[in-house]
Structure formats: structure tokens, C-alpha cells
Structure 1
């Protein structure tokens, strides 16, 4: 018997046809399975199964591709520069096959660990810079507050002058003005030829 002769069509419903295919390709539409030690899913659209169950050409195409999946998995493993971590094959409603493969070049996690350590170091350095900026800002605010307090103290000092003096503030500068001016009158007697003035 040839492969084409083994292909059966003419099923009355998709469920029966799907069971027939699963009997031959145990990995089809069962969810996650293992293929060559790799977690794998193989799914076929029920719309495409509907098209295949009464069309020998489409059914042949489907079965040939389902039969080729284990060899494709071997080729994927051999052709991968890293380690394949999982894969999936999906045959859509039009019979298009989409293969998705995930892998890593760091199966023992060494590179991931180094990357995590580097990232943690970068985060610590960022946090230190933020702390330094906050400290500098706080010091600047304290310096400003100290200057403001000093100016306030000087202002209060300048406003508490003696009662004989006044304060004239022009454009923020303090000027002391003498408020009390005393004039004394006195009698001058100079010689006999002058009159006295009092």
C-alpha cells in the first residue's frame, strides 16, 4: 500500500475525522506533548479538517505534513545554534502551516544570571545618583534657608534702632536719619562797642 492509499476520506463529521488522524498522528490537537524532548503543540484548524475530510488532495497534503513534523523537529534541533525550549505547529483554515520555535543560547542560565547581576548593579548606581541629587538639593535648600534666616535677623536688628534715630528704607537699603536736632541759643558779649543779643 502506498501512502496515498492509506489516506481515508468521506467522514460525515469533523470529530470522527479528527479521531482517525489522531490515531495516526498522536501529537495532533492534544495540547502540549513532547517531541524529541521538546515541549510541542500541533494544532489543525477544524475549518481545514472540514475541507480535508471530503477532498482527497487536501487530505493528502494534510497527512504528508503531519507525518513530516517529527523530522522537522529533528532539523530544528540540529539547525539551532542554541537550545530549543519549545515549539508549535499550527495549520490554519486555509492549510497554511505556521511553525513557532523558542530557544535559548543560555541553557544553564549563566548568561541570564550575569545579565541580572549587571542590571541590579545598574539599578543600584541609579539609586545612588538619585540619593546624591536629593542630598545636594537638600543641602542647597538648607543653605538658602540659612541665608534667609540671616537676612531676617539683620532686618530685625536694623529695625530696633534707638528712639533718636529713624529708619528710611529706599530700594531695600536701610538708611539711618537723625530725627532730633537741638538748637541752643546763647548770649554773645563781645567788647563794649557791640550790642548784646540774646
Structure 2
């Protein structure tokens, strides 16, 4: 059973895909069927970690700038009601800490839910490592491109407000409005959702 007082970073990405998904997943406890694509993604993450160790650049950062690389970093921050697993954390020689999320998408446009995910990772890292996180990265292995995301104090404050809204949906069992659009046809929850 998932602790109602905490949300996963994946809940945030689901919320920004469509707020109603949180209701189905966390209030009604409907499960998302595991797809072959999801299983392939897990295996590909492991392969990407191994490949990154052999490259001159690690997720677009020159090897000589990197002090430490951490993979699959699980962090809990009760003060934010938040927990998650970060794909990769880079600790640079300068002391800067950068969360990196690996995306197997052909779409390299900055998506709001991806940015919110990285802001959540920055909060988790700040809580655990007692450092200020101001940048994050998304790495696209297929194209070997890196997208940097600047993270401001305002972004973090906005995310804390978003977390409060998500917690309200879960604890008060509030059915939010649906986020209509083309994505409804791909959504695993569309068979439960009356638009």
C-alpha cells in the first residue's frame, strides 16, 4: 500500500499529463498494466548506464568535469511529502549536483511534466545532500543530445503548490477535470475515464 502522506515523483508527471490519472491511480488504486515498452525501457536504462561509463562525455558533460556518477538514486523527503528514484545524479568537480533523467522519446521538446519531474528531483537532492540545485538535464540516448533545464526558486515554490494540490486530490478523493486532447487516446486510463 502506498503511504497517503507521500507522493512519488511519478505522480507529479502523471498529474501534469492529466490530473485525473492521479485520481484513478492513487484514489481508486487502479494499476497501469506493464507494457512491453516499459520493460524494454528498464533494460535500456541499465544498458545506457553501462554505455555512459565508456564514453568521453557522460550525458553530455566532459568526463574531466565529473567527480562522481550515481545511478538509480532513491530519496525520500518527508518535509515535502515526496519520494522518488532519480535515473542519474552527477556530482561535478565544482560541487554542483545535477539530476539527469534519461528519456527514450523522439520528442526533444521541453515538456511541462518533464520539467516538473526535474524540479521534484532537485527538491529531493537539496533535502538529502544539503546543496542548492539550479540545473538539471534530460538526456536522449538515441540522438545523444542533452537538454539543460534551469531550475529557479520560483519553480520549486510552484511545485510545492502542485504537491499540495495532488495531496488534496488523494486525501479528499476529489475527481479533477480531465486534460482533453490527443493524449487521451494513448492513456492507459481512458477506458475508466468518462470525458
Q: TM-score, normalized by length of structure 1?
A: 0.20
Larger Rg: 1
Structure holding more helix per residue = 1
Q: TM-score, normalized by length of structure 2?
A: 0.20
